Amino acid sequence: MAKKDRRSQQPAFVTLRDMPGTRVMFWVVDSCPYCGERHLHVAGNLRTADPGEALGEVPAPCQPERPYVLTLPPRPKRKSGKEERRKARRDSKREAWDEDGG
Ligand SMILES: [Zn+2]
């Protein structure tokens, strides 16, 4: 991974929303890295657009000279949940065996 040199770029975490009654999607910046306010960025039409393509560097509405990078927030760890489920399945299997054997 190459380091990004531009310090002016701030990640802005987004959530995908759609406008009720329309097919237009928005990336919503809940907390702008510059002003702390909420900003909306049109991600495109639900049917025709890939909202992922609208991610990346965009000019911040409040700071046109300082772009920020629309970034998906880190998701909670799924891996541990998967492990737990597998473990639970293994435990239940062992229980079944105990019943058979006993
Ligand atoms: Zn802002």
Domain range summary for the chain, segments of one domain joined by +: 10-74
Question: Whose CA is closest to 10, among 25, 26, 31?
Answer: 31
How remote is the CA of residue 69 from the centroid of ligand 1, in Å? 12
How remote is the CA of residue 70 from the centroid of ligand 1, in Å? 12
Q: Is 26 exposed, middle or buried (0-12, 13-18, 19+ CB in 10 A)?
A: buried
How remote is the CA of residue 58 from the centroid of ligand 1, in Å? 12
Summarize pLDDT for 76-92 with one digit per residue, the tens: 776 666 666 676 777 66
Confidence of residue 93 (pLDDT cuts 50, 70, 90): low
How remote is the CA of residue 35 from the centroid of ligand 1, in Å? 4
Question: Who contacts 99 (Cβ-Cβ below 8 Å, separation ≥6)?
Answer: none
> What is the number of alpha carbons within 13 Å of residue 48 lying toward its C-beta?
4
Instruction: Tell me if the pTM is above 0.75.
Output: no
The answer to whether residues 38 and 59 touch, using CB atoms and an 8 Å cutoff, is no
